[in-house]
Amino acid sequence: MRRIEPEVLESILQRESAINLSGLGGNRSLPVDQLKKVKARLEELGNVFGPGDVEETIREIEQREWEAWDSTPPKDPEELFGRSDRKGNFLQDKIDVIGNKILSIEKMTQDIVERLKYGEPLYGKPEKIRPT
């Protein structure tokens, strides 16, 4: 279960069953915000062990998310090519960025050559109609 609808979660949280809430609090596929609500409700019910177990689940999820982020290449080219504290080589991602830049420059160069060929201004709309 990836996420519980908010109204369903609220309904579950209103119940007095610490056993069910403890089970829900061990669900590592739930979002952290929902797990925090489960933990808070267990604390309200006076459950001794449940909140600690939920806290451990939250720590595991946050660690897993951090590791996933840490090994994912940055989207920002400056971060990708600059100094980064992230793990991973990201060589393929760097090659992709460079390749896209080259294709972009090639297209701009072709456009400039075409405009010069027909005596058109380099910026703005062409004034002449190109022969076909």
Same domain flag for 17 and 41: yes
Q: Is the pLDDT of residue 24 over 90?
A: no
% of the chain residues with pLDDT over 90: 21
Shared domain for 13 and 38, answered yes or no, is yes
- What tokens appear for 101 in the block? 């830049």
Whether residue 1 is contained in a domain is answered as no
Same domain as 93, residue 63:
no
Residue at which a domain ends, from 21, 55, 70: 70
Residue 125 pLDDT exceeds 80: no
Residue 22 CA neighbour count, 13 Å, CB half: 12
- What domain range includes position 89? 74-132
Q: How far apart are the C-alpha atoms of 105 and 87, rounded to whole Å?
A: 30
- The predicted pLDDT at position 61 comes to 92
- Domain count within the chain: 2
The CB-side HSE value for 69 (13 A sphere, CA atoms) comes to 8
Residue 61 sits in the same domain as residue 83: no
Q: Token pair of 19, please?
A: 């056993």
Pick the range with the lowest mean pLDDT from 48-62, 68-82, 90-104.
Answer: 68-82
Asked whether residue 65 falls in the same domain as residue 10, the answer is yes
